[in-house]
Amino acid sequence: MMLLTFYLIAITAEAMTAALAAGRRDMDWVGVCVIACITALGGGSVRDVLLGHYPLVWVQHPEYLWMTAGAAIFTALTARMMLHLHKLFLALDALGLVTFTVLGCQIAMEMEMPITIVLLSGMLTGCAGGVLRDILCNDIPLLFRKEMYASVSMVTGGLYMLAIHYQLPELVSMLGPMGIGLALRFLALRFNWQMPQFVYRDDWK
């Protein structure tokens, strides 16, 4: 129940931030709602398609579409107020990242997938929605930039799998890795921790 609550908070927050991104690209209301739904639910959809896990989450729970679209419309109507909630959205985005990661790992483990696929399932669930948003908004996806985002997801997923392997209590197995992932993301934002970059310039003629 707690994980579901975190999930609902996360998809709502992701939809709201996606609506703002769509607004920066002067999209109409349909575009805003589509971008919001894709961002909030796209990670799970990509995971389910790749793993053959059906029905897709928004097919099984169509109310999630209404929830994310409604959050997007609300954001469009109150966009000026949202400017003052930047830090809150960063916090909720971090919560969404670790929540989606654990959910993605759970689904792959239920399907008895190998460890590598479980980790990738968690990362895809946590990050793929944002990648789709950025591509549709003509931005370089955050996943491919220097911010610690996908790496936080991988750490969270790895710690979750370790907790399950050592048969820790369910609540500890879930909240422990999520708490560490949240702390790592917050520290990365606070101190501007970055992943190494590959910089290449073809200057010769």
- For the chain, give the percent of residues with pLDDT over 70: 98
pTM, 2 dp:
0.92
Averaged confidence pLDDT in the chain: 92
For the chain, give every domain's residue range: 2-191
* pLDDT for the residue numbered 43: 96
d(CA 120, CA 117) in angstroms, rounded, equals: 5
* pLDDT for the residue numbered 61: 96
Report helix angle 2-24 to 170-191, nearest 10: 30
* pLDDT for the residue numbered 203: 65
d(CA 161, CA 40) in angstroms, rounded, equals: 24
* pLDDT for the residue numbered 204: 53
26: its two tokens: 């002067």
Per-residue pLDDT tens digits for 117-162: 999 999 999 999 999 999 999 888 877 776 789 999 999 999 999 9
